[in-house]
């Protein structure tokens, strides 16, 4: 976890030099309808999800007695808050309105509070994997260079966030018996796919606008899940083979 703490600290310093990270560099973004309206509604929902304080996650990290991990979690949450701030500024630049809350975020928080640190991280990781597919779709499909730059940066962060959680969970699950691993993965897959369905329904207008079909989104998220779960539970040799196929 020391390496992850160092990574997040370096990333914090680097992102402060982004031209659009400050308050004064944002400008109005012009997008054609209906993509503008669809993007505003979609970003507003994700803004709510990225804005969580993470008090329970921080408390769970303290139980590990690992100061490097605790610091890494704090910096991870700071990056999530950066994403929320960037999405909020994009909504303003698009002339949209913000949401104060959303039912999907409330349901997600409820599920996270049903278990300990491992359960919370698995649920959080499910959302991060969906975010990988979502932000990459926006990066590739929104017809505005400034928007694409913001989404590309979030994509890079999400890739590292997934790797961070995988690294921690791999060690936590290393001693699981095969039946426990099988049950955990099966339940996790069910929750993940349910979350995919929610995103596909709630964000259908923007996915259509950026030319991502339901089938394409389903396949992309499935590939991400298979790769991520294999990194957590399979042997190092299998992980090398899996990476070579991607």
pLDDT for position 25: 62
**What pTM does this model have?**
0.87
Domain count, the chain: 1
**pLDDT digits over 127-143, tens only?**
999 999 999 999 999 99
Write a three-state SS string for 154-204.
Answer: HHHHHHHHHHHHHHHHHHHCCCCCHHHHHHHHHHHHHHHHHHHHHHHHHCH
Q: Which domain holds residue 41?
A: 30-245
Instruction: Kindly state whether residue 3 falls inside one of the protein's structural domains.
Output: no
Q: Could you report the per-residue pLDDT of 84-96, keeping only the tens digit for each?
A: 999 999 999 999 9
Confirm whether 1 is domain-assigned. no
Least confident of 46-50, 188-192, 226-230: 46-50
Per the domain annotation, does 161 fall within a domain? yes
CATH number of residue 142's parent domain: 1.20.1260.10
In a domain, residue 108? The reply is: yes
CB 57 within 8 A of CB 87: no
Q: Is residue 227 part of a domain?
A: yes
- d(CA 92, CA 25) in angstroms, rounded, equals 13
In this prediction, residues 73-81 reach a mean pLDDT of: 94
Residue 15 lies in a domain: no
Whether residue 22 lies inside any domain: the answer is: no
pLDDT for the residue numbered 14: 86
100 belongs to a structural domain: yes
């Amino acid at each position: 976890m020391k390496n992850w703490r160092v990574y997040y600290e370096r990333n914090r310093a680097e992102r402060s030099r982004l031209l659009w990270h400050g308050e004064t560099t944002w400008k109005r973004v012009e997008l054609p309808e209906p993509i503008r309206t669809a993007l505003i509604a979609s970003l507003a929902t994700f803004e709510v999800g990225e804005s969580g304080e993470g008090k329970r996650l921080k408390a769970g990290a303290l139980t590990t007695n690992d100061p490097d991990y605790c610091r890494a979690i704090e910096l991870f949450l700071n990056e999530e808050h950066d994403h929320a701030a960037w999405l909020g500024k994009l909504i303003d630049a698009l002339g949209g309105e913000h949401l104060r809350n959303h039912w999907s975020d409330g349901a997600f928080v409820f599920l996270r509070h049903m278990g300990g640190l491992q359960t919370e991280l698995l649920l959080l990781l499910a959302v991060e994997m969906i975010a990988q597919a979502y932000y990459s779709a926006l990066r590739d499909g929104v017809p505005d260079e400034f928007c694409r730059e913001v989404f590309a940066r979030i994509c890079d962060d999400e890739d590292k966030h997934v790797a961070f959680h995988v690294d921690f969970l791999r060690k936590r699950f290393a001693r699981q018996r095969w039946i426990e691993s099988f049950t955990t993965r099966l339940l996790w897959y069910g929750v993940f796919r349910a979350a995919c369905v929610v995103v596909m329904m709630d964000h259908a207008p923007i996915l259509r606008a950026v030319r991502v079909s339901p089938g394409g989104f389903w396949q992309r998220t499935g590939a991400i899940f298979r790769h991520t779960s294999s990194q957590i539970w399979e042997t190092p040799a299998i992980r090398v083979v899996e990476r070579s196929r991607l």
